Structures are given as structure tokens and as C-alpha cells.
Amino acid sequence: MPDPEPSPSTPQPKDPSTLPPEALALAAKLFDYARAGDVPSLSQYLTAGIPTNLTNHEGNTLLMLAAYNGQKETVELLLSKNADTNVLNARGQSPIAGAVFKGYDEIVKLLVKGGADIRLGQPNAIDCARMFKREEALSIMGVEE
């Protein structure tokens, strides 16, 4: 049986190429805020209704970019706004694996506490910690060697 047609009131995902240049510029600015740790600016937009799990053309969420760039306060902000810790990017990478790879143990702690699945993604956070000899990250994740 085929899926029913979406009703006109059902929001449909937008093809980024159809978005106005202003919307694309705003999205780029938000991703830059996440990378740079600009908590006040990002918080203002999130409070105004920007989706917490906004993703860029590579599938990276705001949380992924903040975690990978060592932005602890930004990670805390996004988690407080219920960011999904388990969204994989287009390469199959998770925010926690990115934090493990970069050696950001405080962020690994936050993501574990926030519900990150340490077995999700390729390589997953455990494999990443073993590959790069991140003993502290393994301990934080509760993995015994």
C-alpha cells in the first residue's frame, strides 16, 4: 500500500538550493557561531526558534560542530535545548566520536551525560578512543580495557 500524500499543512523538507540567499547566509552564520563558541549569539537564535538540530550540507549539526571544535559552553547550551546527541553526519560520524578524536574529554563527559550512544557511527567513539589511545575517554565512557 503506497504512503499517503502529505497534507498541505505538513511541513516538507526544503532543498537548500531553493532557499533564498539570506536564509543560506543566516544558516552559515549559525554554523560559524557553533564552531567559534559564540554562545550569546547562538542562544538568541535558538530562543527565537531556530531548530536545535539544524544541519549543514555535510550533515553536521550545530552540536557536531561545537563538539568537534572544543566549544564546551556551546555544547552545554545545545544540550540544554535538547539537541540530539546521536545525529550522524553524511560520513557516518557522531558528535561524541568527534570529541573523542580531538581529545576533548570534558565534552565527551557532557555528551555521555546527554545520552550519546558510544557505539553509534563509523568509527564509533569506542573505536576512535582505542585508535588514538584516548584512555581518559574510554574511562569516561565506562569502557574497560
Q: Does 63 map to a domain? A: yes
Q: How many domains in the chain?
A: 1
Q: Does 48 map to a domain?
A: yes
- By the 8 A CB rule, do 54 and 20 touch? no
Measured CA to CA, the distance from residue 24 to residue 20 in angstroms comes to 7
- pLDDT computed for residue 136 by the predictor: 97
46 within domain boundaries: yes
The answer to whether 72 touches 110, Cβ cutoff 8 Å, is: yes
Q: What is the pTM of this model?
A: 0.87
Residue 92 DSSP code: S
CA angle in degrees (0–180, nearest 5) for 131-137-141: 110
Domain encompassing residue 36: 20-140
| Residue 11 belongs to some domain of the structure | no
How much is the pLDDT for 144? Answer: 82
Give the separation between CA 34 and CA 27, rounded to whole angstroms: 11
Q: Return d(Cα 85, Cα 108) in angstroms, integer.
A: 11
Question: If the chain, 145 residues long, is cut into consecutive pieces of 10 residues, what is the mean pLDDT of each piece?
Answer: 43 61 92 98 97 95 98 99 97 98 98 98 97 97 88
Cis preceding-peptide flag for 123 (omega within 30 of 0): yes
Residue 10: DSSP 8-state: S
Structural domain includes residue 111: yes
Any idea what the CATH number is for the domain that residue 59 is in?
A: 1.25.40.20
